[in-house]
């Protein structure tokens, strides 16, 4: 699994005119599942998201997690994280997990983040055309890959 994690002051997701999720201070996570991903990949990514120390402590150092600050996590499905544009100009998405299994992992990620103690877990809508609105904090953006390719 891959995730782009952004520290935000606020973030929201809208499908058409319907708000599907919104948070104040916390993390906006774009989450993609790759071919062959399973429970181990999900556990790795969820643990990293919940415990990533990218919020400032009293000394101003990035030393606190979203759990420590009681922040929210907004998770947006993003199969394009597996887009391969190394050849040609049109990305190939053959590395992405097929939609039924990807949806299951996406939904399990929401449950797992709540079980990890995240106070507020919000979500986009799987496979929908979404509008994401955010106010970056920092900006701080971290890339995660359960196979540790980067």
Give the catalytic positions in this structure: 78-80
Q: Closest Cα partner for 35 from 64, 7, 1, 63?
A: 1
The answer to whether 134 and 73 are in contact (CB under 8 A) is no
Burial of 55 (0-12, 13-18, 19+ CB in 10 A): buried
């Amino acid at each position: 699994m891959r995730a782009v994690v952004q520290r935000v002051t606020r973030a929201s997701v809208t499908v058409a005119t319907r708000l599907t999720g919104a948070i104040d201070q916390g993390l906006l996570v774009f989450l993609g599942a790759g071919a062959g991903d399973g429970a181990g990949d999900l556990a790795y990514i969820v643990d990293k998201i919940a415990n990533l120390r990218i919020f400032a402590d009293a000394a101003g150092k990035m030393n606190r997690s979203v759990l420590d600050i009681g922040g929210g996590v907004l998770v947006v499905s993003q199969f394009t994280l597996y887009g391969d544009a190394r050849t040609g100009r049109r990305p190939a998405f053959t590395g992405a997990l097929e939609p039924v299994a990807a949806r299951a992992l996406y939904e399990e990620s929401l449950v797992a983040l709540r079980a990890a103690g995240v106070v507020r877990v919000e979500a986009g809508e799987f496979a929908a055309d979404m509008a994401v609105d955010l106010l970056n904090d920092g900006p701080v953006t971290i890339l995660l890959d359960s196979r540790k390719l980067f």
